């Protein structure tokens, strides 16, 4: 998990450690994208190939880095991205399409779509939408080196819901950061209160709160990916809705819950995107949270408390990509002992690397 400001930037590597296969899932803000460009430049030319670069949805803290790293500047020598995964405007009806890629432009002059038309775009899906269709088998992509990627979401319904709002959302998500300012209305679910979690009753009270559920169409359209490699499973949730994630898990698995080796918590552990039902649908020890708390004040105390309360007794491990004022409280040794969990933090320069 790279340091991605308030967003996500997940760099996945597998296979030979000296010459790994790799993919990127989201790229944070534009500032983060420039840092990723520098990281790619430091790699030997033989290691600058990416099997896929995924943009889960059109929020600035997921899409901005793609613009600054790939779209707005020349690439270092040897960089090859075999496929970009992203649902554009014409994918929002999620119909099986025979139309040429040139017809996929959403907003005339919108620089991301124009650029993607010159790239390999959703080739792994025949140019169609990346989504889960009810009543049909889940789409699974076999990447080189033995990585299997299964698409658990979004649903066709969530893609359709984004269509009326597309032009406004993509304009906000792709405009320069300085134009967005610090009071963007894109997300309003981040908490601002400091909670003193002194005992199990306080933890329970936080977990049992009924916050407003996330209803933002862009978040609901998030691509949800289950990565499987040599018996290990990681679920990357983007900013997906909690009920959609729980439904997707039920669609994928007939068991009571899904065994995972790691779960990238949706929407930076916003209280509006995590529920008792979702937590209980996942059998997982390692919970990954990506955000530095800027702009939207994530993670929410209610979100983290829900994980610890509904997974009490499971020796939960929290992994934060960076330390921040919003998450450093969870390093409290008394809390860790009392609620049976551990917390690890990445650096502001490199983020956190979790190896299996």
Is the residue at 101 inside a domain?
yes
Q: What is the domain-level CATH number for residue 71?
A: 3.60.15
Is the residue at 200 inside a domain?
yes
State residue 349's pLDDT score: 92
8 Å CB contact between 46 and 23: no
State residue 176's pLDDT score: 59
Is the residue at 2 inside a domain?
no
State residue 63's pLDDT score: 85
State residue 46's pLDDT score: 93
User: Over the chain (356 residues), what is each successive 10-residue block's mean pLDDT?
Assistant: 89 96 94 94 96 92 88 90 94 62 40 88 96 96 99 97 85 65 44 68 87 88 98 96 96 89 93 93 96 78 93 92 90 93 95 96
Is the residue at 275 inside a domain?
yes
Is the residue at 1 inside a domain?
no
> Between helices 200-207 and 301-310, what is the axis angle to 10°?
110
Domain count across the chain: 1
Phi and psi at 266, nearest 5°, equal -65, 145
Going by C-alpha positions, the residue among 61, 74, 71 that lies closest to residue 27 is 61
Is the residue at 354 inside a domain?
no
Beta-carbon contacts of residue 140 (< 8 Å; ≥ 6 apart): 148, 149, 150, 151
State residue 186's pLDDT score: 40
User: Which domain does 44 fall in, by range?
Assistant: 9-179+194-345
Is the residue at 230 inside a domain?
yes
- The model's pTM is 0.90
With H, G, I as helix, E, B as strand and everything else as coil, classify residue 255: coil
8 Å CB contact between 285 and 316: yes
Where do the DSSP E strands lie in 260-353? 262-264, 282-283, 286-289, 316-320, 341-345
Is the residue at 205 inside a domain?
yes
8 Å CB contact between 240 and 224: yes
């Amino acid at each position: 998990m790279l340091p991605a400001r308030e967003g996500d930037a997940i760099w996945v590597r597998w296979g030979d450690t000296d010459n790994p296969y790799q993919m990127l899932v989201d790229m944070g803000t534009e500032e983060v994208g420039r840092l990723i460009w520098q990281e790619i430049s430091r790699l030997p030319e033989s290691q600058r190939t990416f099997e896929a670069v995924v943009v889960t949805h059109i929020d600035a803290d997921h899409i901005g880095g793609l613009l600054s790293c790939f779209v707005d500047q020349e690439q270092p020598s040897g960089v090859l991205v075999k496929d970009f995964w992203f649902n554009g405007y014409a994918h929002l009806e999620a119909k099986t399409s025979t139309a040429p890629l040139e017809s996929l432009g959403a907003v005339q002059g919108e620089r991301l779509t124009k650029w993607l038309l010159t790239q390999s775009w959703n080739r792994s899906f025949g140019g169609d939408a990346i989504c889960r269709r009810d009543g049909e088998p889940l789409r699974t992509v076999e990447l080189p080196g033995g990585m299997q990627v299964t698409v658990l979401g979004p649903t066709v319904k969530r893609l359709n819901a984004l269509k009326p709002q597309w032009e406004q959302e993509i304009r906000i998500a792709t405009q320069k950061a300085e134009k967005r300012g610090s009071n963007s209305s894109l997300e309003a679910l981040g908490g601002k209160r400091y909670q003193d979690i002194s005992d199990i009753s306080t933890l329970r009270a936080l977990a049992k709160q009924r916050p407003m559920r996330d209803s933002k169409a862009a978040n609901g359209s998030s691509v949800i990916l289950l990565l499987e490699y040599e018996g290990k499973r990681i679920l990357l949730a983007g900013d997906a809705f909690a009920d959609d994630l729980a439904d997707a898990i039920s669609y994928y698995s007939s068991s009571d819950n899904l065994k995972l080796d790691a779960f990238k918590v949706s929407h930076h552990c916003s209280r509006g995107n995590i529920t008792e039902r979702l937590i209980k649908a996942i059998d997982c020890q390692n919970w990954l949270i990506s955000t530095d708390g800027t702009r939207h004040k994530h993670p929410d105390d209610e979100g983290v408390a829900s994980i610890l309360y509904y997974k009490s007794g499971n020796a939960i491990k929290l992994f934060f990509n960076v330390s921040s004022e919003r998450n450093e409280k969870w390093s409290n040794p008394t809390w860790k002992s009392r609620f049976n969990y551990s917390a690890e933090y990445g650096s502001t320069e490199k983020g956190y690397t979790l190896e299996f």
